[in-house]
């Protein structure tokens, strides 16, 4: 069972057990259904964070979850290099360019634009909180219009177990926070955010043509 399928089942169980719990508003899939994309071109991401390495790390996490939803995903590194050869070396320029022109360069059905709003680790009172935030926008290669969007924020804060020794616990917490601050691991958070963005019922991507449930998940999207 794919990661996407597991997430959909998990969300379904949550909805069943929470009853009247408030859920985020659903995406409008009218334009998405009309476009019916088979392939997705992921262009270089716009980085609004302070970490200059964030875009390269992020791109290594996006292909799998989108492909597992049943879409052909163009190789992200090859896409980046070909765009650079075409004079689009800056991510902001790519995002500002006509989606129809960008898609035409590769023969893609749609273009996925992603912005990194947060990719940081903050140290406060002997603890470090690692946060990532992404905005996703999928545009049609035929019309250039947005046909799907999502936003995900993931936060991680290491939990320190008590040993019964207050001084020892304090030292352990300080060491743990310092290690996390010095070398935070953003990749798992990015992977979780991407998986949720594409598989969350009523908010994610409907199953694509390479999925066994293509056009059979209408009740979820």
Return the domain boundaries, the chain. 3-9+24-199
Lowest mean pLDDT segment, chosen from 2-6, 32-36, 188-192: 2-6
Locate the DSSP E strands across 109-199. Answer: 110-124, 127-140, 146-156
Q: Within 13 Å and on the Cβ side, how many CA atoms surround 36?
A: 4
Q: Tokens 């293509």: give the residue.
A: 214
Q: What pLDDT, on a 0 to 100 scale, did the predictor assign at position 74?
A: 98
Tell me how many helices (H) and strands (E) the chain has: 8, 6
Per-residue model confidence as pLDDT tens digits over 158-184: 655 544 544 444 444 444 444 444 446
pLDDT of residue 42: 98
Q: Which of 130, 133, 116 is nearest to 179 (CA)?
A: 130
Owner of token pair 């804060």:
157
- At 160, list the tokens: 């320190």
Cα–Cα distance measured from residue 116 to residue 213, given in angstroms and rounded to the nearest whole number: 30
**The predicted structure's pLDDT at residue 55:** 95
Give me 189's structure tokens.
């958070």
2 or 215, which is more confident? 215
d(CA 196, CA 203): 9
pLDDT at residue 12, rounded to an integer: 43
Share of the chain above pLDDT 70, in %: 75
Question: Quick one: which of 212, 208, 36 has its CA closest to 109?
Answer: 36
3-class secondary structure, 153: strand
What local confidence, expressed as pLDDT, does residue 130 receive?
87
Q: Cα-flanking dihedrals φ and ψ of residue 145, to 5°?
A: -85, 155
Fold type of domain 3-9+24-199: Rossmann fold (3.40.50)
């Amino acid at each position: 069972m794919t990661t996407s399928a597991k997430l959909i089942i998990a969300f379904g169980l949550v909805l069943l057990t929470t009853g009247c719990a408030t859920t985020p508003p659903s995406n409008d899939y009218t334009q998405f259904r009309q476009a019916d994309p088979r392939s997705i071109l992921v262009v270089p991401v716009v980085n609004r964070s302070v970490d200059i390495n964030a875009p390269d790390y992020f791109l290594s996490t996006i292909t799998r979850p989108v492909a597992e939803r049943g879409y052909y995903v163009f190789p992200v590194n090859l896409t980046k290099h070909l765009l650079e050869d075409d004079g689009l070396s800056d991510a902001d320029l790519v995002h500002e360019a006509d989606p129809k022109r960008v898609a035409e360069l590769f023969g893609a059905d749609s273009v996925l634009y992603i912005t990194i709003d947060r990719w940081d680790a903050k140290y406060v009172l002997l603890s470090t909180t690692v946060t990532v935030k992404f905005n996703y926008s999928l545009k049609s290669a035929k019309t250039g219009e947005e046909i799907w969007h999502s936003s995900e924020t993931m936060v991680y804060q290491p939990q320190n177990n008590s040993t019964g020794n207050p001084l020892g616990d304090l030292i352990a917490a300080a060491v743990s926070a310092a290690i996390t601050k010095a070398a935070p691991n953003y990749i798992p958070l990015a992977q979780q955010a991407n998986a949720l963005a594409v598989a969350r019922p009523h908010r994610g991507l409907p199953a694509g043509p390479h999925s066994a449930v293509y056009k059979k998940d209408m009740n979820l999207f």
